[in-house]
Amino acid sequence: MSMAAGSRPSRRGPATGIAGWPATVLTGCGLAAVLVVAAVAVFALLLQAGGGEIAGISTYYLGKVLAFTLWQALLSVLLTLLAAIPATRALARQPHFPGRSWLLQLCALPMVMPTIVGIFGVVAVFGGSGYLTAAATAFGSDWRPHIYGLPGILIAHVFFNLPLAIRLLLPAYAAVPAESWRLAAQLGMRGRDVFRFIEMPLLRQQLPGIAIIVFMLCFTTFAVALTLGGGPAATTLEVAIYQALRFDFDLGLGAMLALLQVVLCAGGAWTVWRTGREMAMGSVTRLIIRRYDGASNASRLVDYSLILLVSLFLALPMAALVQKGLSGLHAAASVASLSKAALISMALGLSGGAVATLCGYLLAQARQSLMLLGHRRMAMLIGLAGRLGLFVSPMVIGTGIFLAASGRIDLYDLAVPGVILLNAVMALPFVLGLLEPAMATAAERHDKLCAALGIKGWHRWREIDWPTLRRPLGSAFAFASVIAMGDLGAIALFGSQDLTNLTLLLYGQLGAYRLDGAASTALLLLALTLATYAILERWVGGRELH
């Protein structure tokens, strides 16, 4: 007995202090600490440079801005989730239909689309002279959609975020053990019971994380809210931050507003997480799993109608962009500049994606180990630190970096690593969104077994972790890479003439009246994204396990 106890791996032993923590936890904590310290330093610098005195902003105005920002973000999240749940369910229930994998890859596109391109796509369908109007005219009706105002903001936000929510939710559906479905079928469970006993707990685990990401993206929205919102009544907090930092150069006010944003977002995230439930499901993570409840004609009809509806909603704006891109080919940029920009997009995207995936893996692993050690709150803090890129206004990050470097470091010479790192920080929340649940599940399945068998270190990684985590890691890498590929903020910050990616090229064209050429640049960006995403997910993630 005593010998057996002595040979028990220390990993599972009770934690006594930081010194006893495994190296993975320390690395992850270190990384999280770097992120937090950087964020704190940025705010401190801004407040200090602002001279401590903050010009008055009318509380009435601020209140109105805050109320609108919250309201539109909440509505957007609600709509996105309301659409995502049935759509993902339909996709999970119908694992085999032609075009399914295309539809899933299509879901990666809105994420990388430069906002302005997405806006043009949405307007081309839902705008006053868009497809809908054309369809109405063809049927002899003079009905015209009027989207400017809240409807336009919501349509665009759902367009940008619904695919993201589906992509994040679908792996969770697939993680339900095949046995559960078999059991449900044997017990003759109806749709309502299946929802209550299998899907509901699953959603309770998954939705909070997804809701936070979508909420944050809509909360910090800017161009969408202004352009489709119809006027200054649709002012979000980010507009006020932009105005303070860019036009008024009131660093103190900008920092205060951005701090308000961080507090609101982090507070929201914390609350949502507390209501969420941790649930680990032993299973192979794969996107296709046999279910027995989608086979009846009625459920097929419902599912396929839903899938068709979602596909149309996502594909029509993209079809409009493809059409514009093709008809703009005559005005396209030279092959030389397009291919150079495409190469730069690819190189920066893959590097940013790789850094984000590595950091995400380290953070998620530390979080997982902390959970096992019983430090639940600490684990949540790590998760929060990894999501700082979502909470902190990009304007503030950019300003802070230049403020910190001023006179000390020549940032213009560090454009390449700077862009890669910034993009990695921005993509990190999405990587975590994919990796955290997958690693929780994997840990639940393998930790005890590995501990009992004494499998650890590189051996464990190669034999156990890599085969199970390969797929989510592949998805995370693909996702992070395409997010970095579509970057505008980081690359525009450094303004290096030799570093023009496709997004920057596109903005250059738009600013010089070249709208047709810009449309074909957008088409190239989308095609490149689709290819990169599909290849990485297949290549790194391996084939679907059947």
Partner 1 sequence: MQLRDLLLSTLLATAAIPAAWADEKPVLTVYTYNSFTSEWGPGPVLEKAFEATCACDINWVALEDGAALLARLKLEGKNTKADVVLGLDTNLTAEAKATGLFAPHGTDVSALKLPITWADADFVPYDWGYFAFVYDSEKLKDPPKSLADLVDGKDGPKVLLEDPRTSTPGLGLVMWMGEVYGEKAAAAWAGLKPKILTVSKGWSEAYGLFTQGEAPLVLSYTTSPAYHQIVEKTDRYKALVFPEGNYMQVEVAGAIAGSAHADLAKSFLAFLISPEAQKVIPTTNYMYPVRDIGADLPPEFTALPVPEKSLLLPADEAAKHRDDWIKTWVEAVSQ
Q: Is 223 in the site for partner 1 (CB under 8 A)?
A: yes
Q: Is 53 in the site for partner 1 (CB under 8 A)?
A: no
Q: Is 245 in the site for partner 1 (CB under 8 A)?
A: yes
- Taking the complex as a whole, the smallest distance from the CB of residue 75 to partner 1 amounts, in Å, to 19
> How many other CB atoms are found less than 10 A from the CB of residue 137?
13
Identity of the residue, 71 or 102, whose beta carbon is nearer to partner 1 in the bound complex = 71
- Taking the complex as a whole, the smallest distance from the CB of residue 358 to partner 1 amounts, in Å, to 11
Q: Is 233 in the site for partner 1 (CB under 8 A)?
A: yes
Q: Is 176 in the site for partner 1 (CB under 8 A)?
A: no
Q: Is 110 in the site for partner 1 (CB under 8 A)?
A: no
Of 321-340, binders to partner 1 (CB under 8 A) are: 333-334, 337
Measured in residues, the chain has a length of 546
Q: Round to whole Å and give the CA distance between 344 and 483.
A: 14
First to last CA, the chain: 42
Q: Is 348 in the site for partner 1 (CB under 8 A)?
A: yes
Q: What is the DSSP string of 188-220?
A: T--HHHHIIIIIHHHHHHHHHHHHHHHHHHHHT
Residue 8 CB partners (closer than 8 Å, separation 6+): 451
> How many other CB atoms are found less than 10 A from the CB of residue 271?
12
Instruction: Give the DSSP H/E element, type plus range, for residue 246.
Output: none
Stretch that binds partner 1, among 22-30, 184-192, 360-368, 508-516 (CB under 8 A): 508-516
Q: Is 170 in the site for partner 1 (CB under 8 A)?
A: no
Q: Is 222 in the site for partner 1 (CB under 8 A)?
A: yes
Of 390-409, binders to partner 1 (CB under 8 A) are: 399, 402-403, 406-407
Q: Is 198 in the site for partner 1 (CB under 8 A)?
A: no
Q: Is 529 in the site for partner 1 (CB under 8 A)?
A: no
Identity of the residue, 250 or 465, whose beta carbon is nearer to partner 1 in the bound complex = 250
Identity of the residue, 210 or 344, whose beta carbon is nearer to partner 1 in the bound complex = 344
500 neighbors 442 (Cβ within 8 angstroms): no
Dihedral pair phi/psi, residue 519, rounded to 5°: -65, -35
Q: Is 533 in the site for partner 1 (CB under 8 A)?
A: no
Of 128-157, binders to partner 1 (CB under 8 A) are: 128-129, 148, 152
Out of 25, 103, 111, 226, which residue is the one contacting partner 1 (CB under 8 A)? 226
- Taking the complex as a whole, the smallest distance from the CB of residue 350 to partner 1 amounts, in Å, to 6
- Taking the complex as a whole, the smallest distance from the CB of residue 223 to partner 1 amounts, in Å, to 5
Of 412-451, binders to partner 1 (CB under 8 A) are: 412-413, 415-417, 420
- Taking the complex as a whole, the smallest distance from the CB of residue 62 to partner 1 amounts, in Å, to 12
Size of the site for partner 1 (CB under 8 A): 73
- Taking the complex as a whole, the smallest distance from the CB of residue 402 to partner 1 amounts, in Å, to 5
- Taking the complex as a whole, the smallest distance from the CB of residue 400 to partner 1 amounts, in Å, to 10
Q: Is 458 in the site for partner 1 (CB under 8 A)?
A: no
**Residue closest to 456 by CA, chosen among 28, 5, 8, 16:** 8
Stretch that binds partner 1, among 34-42, 257-265, 291-299, 344-352 (CB under 8 A): 344-352
Q: Is 515 in the site for partner 1 (CB under 8 A)?
A: yes
219 neighbors 236 (Cβ within 8 angstroms): yes
75 neighbors 150 (Cβ within 8 angstroms): yes
Q: Round to whole Å and give the CA distance between 24 and 32.
A: 12
Of 355-374, binders to partner 1 (CB under 8 A) are: none
Q: Is 242 in the site for partner 1 (CB under 8 A)?
A: yes
Q: Round to whole Å and give the CA distance between 546 and 174.
A: 12
Q: Is 119 in the site for partner 1 (CB under 8 A)?
A: yes
> How many other CB atoms are found less than 10 A from the CB of residue 497?
5
Out of 97, 102, 249, 461, which residue is the one contacting partner 1 (CB under 8 A)? 249
For residue 409 the two structure tokens come to: 């470091």
Identity of the residue, 183 or 223, whose beta carbon is nearer to partner 1 in the bound complex = 223
Residue 512 CB partners (closer than 8 Å, separation 6+): none
131 CB burial (10 A radius; 0-12, 13-18, 19+): middle
Q: Is 509 in the site for partner 1 (CB under 8 A)?
A: yes
Q: Is 228 in the site for partner 1 (CB under 8 A)?
A: yes
- Taking the complex as a whole, the smallest distance from the CB of residue 204 to partner 1 amounts, in Å, to 36
CA 367 vs CA 200, 202, 239, 375: distances in Å: 25, 20, 34, 9
Residue 82 CB partners (closer than 8 Å, separation 6+): none
Q: Round to whole Å and give the CA distance between 468 and 105.
A: 22
Q: Is 528 in the site for partner 1 (CB under 8 A)?
A: no
Q: Is 47 in the site for partner 1 (CB under 8 A)?
A: no
Out of 79, 104, 109, 124, which residue is the one contacting partner 1 (CB under 8 A)? 124
Of 80-99, binders to partner 1 (CB under 8 A) are: none
Helices (H), 392-414: 394-405
Name residue, tokens 């590995």: 450
**Residue closest to 234 by CA, chosen among 147, 293, 166:** 147
Identity of the residue, 99 or 495, whose beta carbon is nearer to partner 1 in the bound complex = 495
Q: Round to whole Å and give the CA distance between 196 and 184.
A: 11
Of 261-320, binders to partner 1 (CB under 8 A) are: none
Out of 77, 79, 257, 344, which residue is the one contacting partner 1 (CB under 8 A)? 344
Q: Is 540 in the site for partner 1 (CB under 8 A)?
A: yes
Identity of the residue, 13 or 495, whose beta carbon is nearer to partner 1 in the bound complex = 495
The region that residue 374 occupies, defined by phi over 0 for left and psi between -120 and 50 for alpha, beta otherwise, is left
Residues 532, 537, 541: CA angle, nearest 5 degrees: 150
- Taking the complex as a whole, the smallest distance from the CB of residue 205 to partner 1 amounts, in Å, to 31
Q: Round to whole Å and give the CA distance between 330 and 324.
A: 11
